[in-house]
Amino acid sequence: MHAEFEFSVEIKEGVGKGAARKARAAGRTPGVVYGPEFAPRPVTFREQDLVRALNTPAQRNVFLRLKSPDPDLDGIRVIVKDLQVDPVKRRFIHADFYKLDPNRTMHATLPIHVQGTAIGVKLGGILQIVRREVRVACKPDDLPDAIVVDVTELKPGESVHVGDLEPPEGVRILTSPELAVCVVVAPTGYEEGGEEAEEEEAEA
């Protein structure tokens, strides 16, 4: 199951910059909850709660289960759609939360997790990571925390492209399949088939 975090919000009183400043003075960060067939609702939240949520394995893709005195907000799932940060103080200024519909396809950017030690690395090569994330489309309940690629069998000079990735069932990768994900740079003086030749000489 995709990572989910209980997240408390309160209804924001008033509109405009004055109401936002008042919320921040009270230690709250303003935001808005919106989504398909859902009228936008201005809310406030504790910045430290969102920081903890974003530090989960899913990071920006974490699902937030809202806890609110407003019955229209209480219990719904949202995802952080946009997050504004003060460039100087590095504090959250405002957040947009998108209400998830389990029956509607959503888009997300997922990290690529590389696992295993490539054969080419064991032979002295270097694994270069070219792309660390991909865009995907899926229903909310099918969204994984990451796309995993096993590089164990990669030999010197071989590479993995987006088209080689195997997403979980129900997940469609939108990033161009021709783009490289990682490549094993061959060590100096390496010749293809050299490993097999050395083994044959040893047997002889």
Domain boundaries, the chain: 4-99, 106-196
Reported confidence tier of residue 204, pLDDT bands at 50, 70, 90 = very low
pTM summary value: 0.80
- The mean pLDDT value for 99-127 works out to 95
Reported confidence tier of residue 1, pLDDT bands at 50, 70, 90 = low
- The Cα 30–Cα 33 span in angstroms is 10
Reported confidence tier of residue 2, pLDDT bands at 50, 70, 90 = confident
Report the CATH number of the 4-99 domain. 2.40.240.10
Instruction: Give the pLDDT of residue 194.
Output: 52
**106-196 shares the fold of 4-99:** no
CATH of 106-196, picked from 2.40.50.140, 2.170.120.20, 3.40.50.200, 3.40.50.970, is: 2.170.120.20
